Amino acid sequence: MCAAVLSLEAIALGLTTPVMITIADVSTGTAVSVGLGLAVVCLLLAGMLRAEWAYLAGYVVQAAAIALGFVVPVMFGLGVVFAVLWAAADLLGRKIERERAEAWAAYRAQQS
């Protein structure tokens, strides 16, 4: 679930690049670095979610997406939406893994 959130967020962050250039009057180099840079980070993190640090880095990306609202105000709202989706996916995923491990341990104990 977390990989899906990051993948969708990469699209939204990538689309902030032309908005920053045309509406927010940010220089092209800065807009490309920030918008597409964050999008690439999202995609890379989506592939690295086997490591625990990638989940923590995902929270940093969420903070960066919200902070992007200082340049593109709609990102305050959109960043919060993605942050809530990220936290929900992370917490629900951990709960599912914990319950799966408990069920497997109970099954193995029953087989012994």
User: pLDDT tens digits, residue range 46-92?
Assistant: 999 999 999 999 999 999 999 999 999 999 999 999 999 999 999 99
Distance between CA 80 and CA 58 in Å, rounded?
13
What's the chain's length in residues?
A: 112
Query: Can you give the pLDDT at residue 71?
Result: 93
d(CA 20, CA 103): 49
| Model pTM above 0.85 | yes
CA separation for the pair 63, 18 (Å, rounded)? 21
pLDDT of residue 112: 77
Question: If DSSP states are collapsed to H, E and C, what string results for 83-97?
Answer: HHHHHHHHHHHHHHH
Q: For 49, which DSSP code?
A: T
Q: Do 11 and 65 form a contact (C-beta atoms < 8 A)?
A: no
Amino acid identity of residue 64, one-letter, is A
Using only C-alpha atoms, the chain has a radius of gyration, in whole angstroms, of: 18
Q: Three-class SS of residue 24?
A: coil
| pLDDT of 16 higher than 80 | yes
Binned at pLDDT 50, 70 and 90, residue 95 comes out as very high
pLDDT of residue 19: 94
Reported as a single tens digit per residue, the pLDDT across 20-53 is 999 999 999 999 999 999 999 999 999 999 999 9
Across 2-6, 21-25, 108-112, least confident range: 108-112
